[in-house]
Structure formats: C-alpha cells, structure tokens
C-alpha cells in the first residue's frame, strides 16, 4: 500500500529519446531533496531483459550495479550520484522483471484460474512495484522515469499505470514531459509543433502533463513558452527552459533558474516552500567546469568503444564521472583519451609508445578475450615506465597476470576465463561460479554487489581510504587464484585489500618505493564515486598522475 500523502512525479519523454530525461529526473530529485524532501528515484525500463546485466555495453551503455547487487541501467548511477545516496531494488524495474513476476505467479496458480492479461494483471504488478518503492525507501516524493518515448509500443503499459496512479491519488500525482524542440538549420527558428504533437499523443493515453521541460539547443523564449502553454494546456511558468549546456551537473542549477523546484512543490501541494540550498552542488559544478584548471591526461585502454562509425564512451560512464569528481576536488580538468586495446593487440607499436604521453592509465572492467593481450601490454608498459596505473576488476586481474608473466616469469600465466586449461591459472573461476557456467544460468549470477574488504596497514589503499574496513561493489566470476598468492607476494606484489576471511584478493598494489601508483581493485570503486564525495582511490590515482610531469 502507498504511504499516506506520498507524492509521485512521472517523467515521460516526448518527440525523441536521448534528450536527457534521466538527467532531468536526477535534477528534480536533487532540487526536491535540497528543499528538505527525501526523494527516491525510480527507473522503468521497458525492455524484456530481466535486468541490464545481460546486455553488451556497446548495446546499452554501462551496467550499473546497486549495493544489493542488482544490475541496472546506467541512469541508476546518475540518480545515485545526484542524490548522493544508495538506491534499492524497488527503485528499478524492467518489463522483463514485471512479466517474470506475473508469470511465476500464474504458474503457481495464484490467479485462481483467471485468464491472466496485460490489463489488469501486468499493470497491477507495475502499480504494486511503484507503491512498494514509495513505501520502502523512506522518501516523501518518488520521481519515476519511464524509459523510451511517448508513442513507443513497449512502454504503453507503464504509461497506463501512471494514469491509474493519478486516478487513485489525484492530489498526489503530477506529470512532467521532457520534450525536444528542434531548431532546423534551414529555418534558424525553434519549432514547437513536434512537442505539441507529443502532448496530444500523451493526452490520448488520458494523461495531461503538468510541466513541459523544453530541451533544445537554445533557451526557449517567452513567445514560444506562451505558445506551448496555450496549445498544450500547461501553465506558462511550468514550461521550463532546458537548453544544451556543457555539463549535466549544471542542469539542476539551470532548471532552478526557471524556479522548477518551487513550481513542483506548488503543483504537488507540498506546503513548505524552503529555499533550495545548492551551495555545495554549485561549488562542485563550478570546479568541474573550470576550463582554466590545468589538465590531467588520462588514457583509458578498453574495448567497448566502437559501434559502427561511432565511438561510445557510455560503456564506461561511471569511470569517467569518478575521474571528474576527483579531478574537480584536486582543481584539475581531466582530459580522457580512449585507447583501443585491440589496436595494441594487433601490434600497433605507435599506440603503445604513445602511452608514455599520458599521466595515468586505466584498464577498466571487461569480459572475454577481445583486446586482452593489448591491455596486458599496456599494463606492462605502465609498470615499466612508472606511469600511474589503475586497474578496475578485469584491469586488476590482468595486472596480476602481467606481473606473473613478466616478473614471476610464468610465461603462460592466464585467466581460465580465456584459457580453460591454463598451465598457470593465476586468475581462476570462483568455486560457486562453476555451476552457473555449466548450467548456462548467466543472468544475475556473478558475485554481485557490496562486500566488505579489509585493508592492510601501511599500504596505498589503506592510506587513501583512511579506514580499516570498506564496502565496495562487485561484478565478477573470476578471482585471483589463492594458490598463487604467496608466490606473487614473494615477488613483490602486495595484496592490500582482502575479504575479511583473507580468501579473496580485493586489491593488488606495488609499494610506492617501486612504482608511483600501480593498483588494481577486484571491485568497481567507480560505482560509489559521487560529486560531493569523490572516491579516495580515484583521488589517490589522480594525485599520482598530477605528480607525473606532463609530456607532449
């Protein structure tokens, strides 16, 4: 059941996708939270995957992992970063998840012999989940983003559920349509017609938007605001201008210029109009946007870049953001270059040699064989040339393999992910994972979510965190093989972070006396980096990068 007086804001997209609905949702959350109303943000993804864990990152961007271990859409990462708090399973749903619950219930006769149908049964399941998110997460307001665009066949049930919510709680539900206003080059004039049509389409679902967030290359002028207002039956002061800007972190500040926060409270009939306190956020956004700050040049050596003719950096979104937060804290502008590991693997010596021009190198998480020999070469280069190196998950496993091959002289050291019968399986499948692979139960079965990690005294990791125990989020099936730990340690590698029972190696590093910063984590620190609380390991890595002289 819903909480008494709980408020719901549904965010829907008009005209086209990819115009920043997720950022608007996150910004609404931040604005209301800064006015003293606890908020939870809910993402609805209309696809049939049960979670986002089974999709290739070039297909759908990064898979973001919640504390619980749920594998979600990257928007959930943005939500957490804006709210600076952890979200829960209730805050995320896909069509796959919804249908799976309904079908499981049908199989156990819970519908008592009824014909089970999209309406009402699937819709009821959606409603139940929206209300559960409201009840579980301590919010006063839920902001629910419905993925896709109005008129998409596949999000229709979710939009219909939103309509029913309005019928149930007429005073507590409002609708925000994030739309796009093109400025065709041939005309040089902003056009409102596509948005008018999108509102009509929404009307045909029985929904009238309360707000239009007008995304465009330019700010919306008064004349067009009035036109949209009269044509779409939305109050003029609730047509909010949202022009393109440099950074997503400016968006809440920009929306606030049109008083979005106060207008939302008014529409929701929330009595207290409190002043928005965005001081800390503003300070961060100003630092992040300071183009006068000196650069710090980082190379990310990965493989999920190319889709057709386009380069897709979304696959590594949380890493990019984590770098930005630490760089802003250190008063630097990050300059990130994508280096395709596949080229290094093919023997492209120039790309490898060029790594010397960076101040820091990251090898991010990944799966499978493509590009890994290229990544290992890049890691060797970073180690031998004393370039600060930060390995994330696969980047840590490959760092250990490189060390085993080139320092321990185990020439055939490998991971059993690639070489099943490796002579020296320095990285091996975790025991409990074996069955998942042989049964082909891949979805949601990795070692996922938050686990504690103990940090050894006197190490880079311990000094960075300034704590003995930390919790970090994971997503892997393989681990450093315990049989090789002693040998690796004897050869100089330090396992500075382990599971509390010392069985799983969570962080590997080289002592500062040997290398300025060579550290890898089995977990994904990037998932817990936030604008207002940058991640200590990213900050430490960047400090080492800044200390390395910039080269041309």
Q: What is the contact surface with ligand GLN in residues (CB under 6 A)?
A: 365-367, 393-394, 397, 417, 475-478
The phi, psi pair for 216, rounded to 5°, reads -165, 175
- When CB distances to ligand GLN are compared, the closest residue is 365
From the CB of 338, what's the least distance to ligand GLN, in Å? 17
Torsion, Cα 438 443 448 449, to 10 degrees, reads -170
Distance CA 424, CA 172 (A): 62
Burial 308-322 (b: 16+ CB within 10 A, else e): eeeebbebbbbbbbb
Closest distance of CB 233 from ligand GLN, Å: 48
For ligand GLN, the closer CB: 144 or 485: 485
| φ, ψ (nearest 5 deg) of residue 245 | -135, 175
How far is Cα 408 from Cα 143, in angstroms, rounded to an integer?
Answer: 53
Spell out the residues 6+ positions from residue 502 whose beta carbon is closer than 8 angstroms to its own.
454
Beta strands in 275-326 (DSSP E): 295-302, 306-307, 310-311
Question: Residue 418 CB, nearest distance to ligand GLN (Å)?
Answer: 9
CB of 445 to ligand GLN, least distance (A): 11
Calpha distance 12→145 (Å, rounded): 6
Is the CB of 198 or the CB of 363 nearer to ligand GLN?
Answer: 363
Residue 550 tokens, joined: 């910039």
Min CB(180)–ligand GLN separation in Å: 34
From the candidates 414, 474, 515, 524, give the one annotated as an active-site residue: 524
Whole-number Å distance between alpha carbons of 169 and 260: 22
Q: What is the CA radius of gyration of the chain?
A: 25
DSSP 248: G
Alpha helices in 208-356 (DSSP H): 222-232, 251-257, 260-268, 279-288, 317-329, 341-345, 349-354
Residues whose CB falls within 8 Å of the CB of residue 262, separated by 6 or more in sequence, listed in order:
273
Is residue 524 annotated as a catalytic residue, yes or no?
yes
How many CB atoms sit inside 10 A of residue 441's CB? 10
Closer residue to ligand GLN, CB minimum distance, 27 or 415 = 415
- Give the DSSP letter of residue 536: H
Is residue 535 part of the annotated active site? The answer reads no
Burial of 345 (0-12, 13-18, 19+ CB in 10 A): buried
Q: Which one is catalytic: 80, 232, 393, 540?
A: 393
Between 79 and 523, CB nearer to ligand GLN: 523
Query: How far from 276 is each of 37, 139, 259, CA to CA, in Å?
Result: 11, 18, 10
CB of 62 or CB of 90, closer to ligand GLN? 62
In the complex, the smallest distance separating the C-beta of residue 397 from ligand GLN, rounded to whole angstroms, is 6
Smallest distance, ligand GLN to C-beta of residue 544, A: 22
Cβ–Cβ < 8 Å for 449, 441: no
What is the nearest approach in angstroms of ligand GLN to the Cβ of residue 69? 13
**Of 210 and 417, CB closest to ligand GLN:** 417
Catalytic residues: 393, 524, 526
């Amino acid at each position: 059941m819903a909480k008494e007086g709980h408020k719901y804001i549904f965010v829907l997209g008009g005209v086209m996708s990819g115009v920043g609905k997720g950022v608007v949702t996150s910004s609404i959350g931040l604005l209301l939270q800064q006015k003293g109303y606890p908020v939870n943000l809910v993402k609805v993804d209309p696809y049939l995957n049960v979670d986002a864990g089974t999709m290739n990152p070039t297909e759908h961007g990064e898979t973001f992992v919640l504390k619980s271990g749920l594998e979600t859409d990257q928007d959930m990462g943005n939500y957490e970063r804006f709210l600076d708090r952890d979200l829960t399973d209730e805050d995320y749903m896909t069509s796959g998840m919804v249908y799976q619950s309904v079908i499981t219930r049908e199989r156990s006769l819970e519908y008592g012999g009824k014909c089970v149908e999209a309406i009402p049964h699937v819709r009821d399941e959606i409603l139940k989940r929206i209300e559960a998110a409201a009840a579980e997460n301590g919010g006063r307001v839920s902001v629910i983003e419905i993925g896709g665009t109005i008129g998409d066949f596949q999000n229709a049930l979710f939009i219909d559920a939103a309509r029913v919510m309005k019928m149930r709680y007429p005073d507590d539900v409002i609708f925000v349509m994030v739309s796009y206003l093109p400025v065709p080059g041939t005309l040089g004039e902003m056009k409102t017609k596509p948005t008018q049509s999108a509102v009509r389409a929404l009307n045909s679902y029985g929904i009238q938007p309360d707000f239009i967030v007008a995304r465009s290359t330019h700010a919306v002028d008064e004349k067009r605001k009035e036109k949209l207002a009269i044509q779409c039956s939305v109050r003029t002061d609730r047509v909010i201008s949202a022009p393109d800007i440099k950074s997503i972190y400016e968006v809440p500040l920009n929306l606030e210029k049109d008083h979005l926060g106060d207008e939302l409270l008014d529409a929701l009939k929330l009595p207290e109009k409190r002043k928005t306190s965005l001081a800390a956020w503003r300070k961060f956004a100003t630092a992040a946007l300071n183009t006068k700050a000196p650069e710090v040049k980082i190379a990310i050596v990965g493989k999920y870049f190319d889709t057709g003719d386009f380069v897709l950096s979304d696959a590594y979104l949380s890493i990019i953001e984590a770098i930005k937060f630490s760089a802003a804290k250190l008063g630097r502008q990050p300059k990130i270059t994508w280096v395709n590991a596949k080229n290094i693997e093919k023997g492209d010596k120039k790309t490898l040699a060029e790594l010397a021009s960076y101040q820091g190198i990251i090898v991010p998480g990944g799966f499978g064989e493509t590009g890994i020999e290229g990544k290992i070469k890049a890691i060797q280069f970073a180690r031998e040339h004393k370039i600060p190196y930060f390995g994330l998950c696969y980047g840590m496993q490959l760092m250990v393999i490189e060390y085993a091959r080139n320092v321990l002289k185990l020439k055939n050291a490998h991971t059993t992910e690639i070489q099943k019968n490796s002579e020296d399986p320095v990285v091996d499948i975790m025991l409990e994972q074996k069955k998942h692979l042989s049964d082909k139960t891949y979805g949601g079965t990795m070692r996922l979510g938050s686990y504690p990690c103990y940090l050894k005294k006197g190490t880079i990791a311990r000094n960075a965190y300034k704590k003995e125990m930390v919790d970090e989020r994971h997503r892997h099936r393989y681990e450093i093989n315990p049989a090789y730990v002693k040998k690796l340690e004897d050869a100089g590698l330090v396992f500075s972070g382990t599971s509390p029972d010392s069985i799983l190696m969570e962080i590997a590093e080289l002592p500062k006396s040997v290398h300025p910063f060579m550290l890898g984590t089995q977990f994904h620190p990037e998932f817990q980096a936030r604008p207002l609380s940058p991640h200590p390991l990213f900050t430490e890595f960047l400090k080492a990068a800044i200390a390395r002289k910039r080269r041309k």
